[in-house]
Structure 1
């Protein structure tokens, strides 16, 4: 991997919010609207973080109607040397939102 591309990927992963997003996406694909109650920040802020991850090639997006779902680009993460099994398991975040009736289903 070219040095500048590697540096960009590592900078994107250096932010705790973006790193947690990677850990959450390791559980399942997510829509922007699902991240809002987890991080308790605005939709534009969530979108900016995801855009940074996408520009670094760490996540991909797919449109489904009006919704945009994000997923991990596992090959790119592997090239950077990220071992997903080393990330904390945040799947309980989704369970807590579901229990509170706050989990948003975009589909």
Structure 2
């Protein structure tokens, strides 16, 4: 019976980062130099970009780097470079929120 229902998903926030600086990289696009304020930013997470309390983009992370090395996740208190798939309009002060969608078990 449970297999007949559509799955229900809930959003679980992983963390938030503030864009401190932006870098234009030829062939890649705009990379956000960001500081992780709380939680963590994970490479496989979905993100939303918030500017002046308004969500301006939702998408996926295309690259996540700590110094020059690729990273799977970056934790609170660290800086990193974040590339966003198909979005280059990043500005200093933007907030990047990372989240995942988890399936809710029906009982």
Same fold flag (TM > 0.5): no
Greater RCO structure (CA 8 Å; 6+ sep): 2
Question: Who wins on radius of gyration, i.e. which is larger?
Answer: 2
- Higher helix proportion, which one? 1
- Higher strand proportion, which one? 2
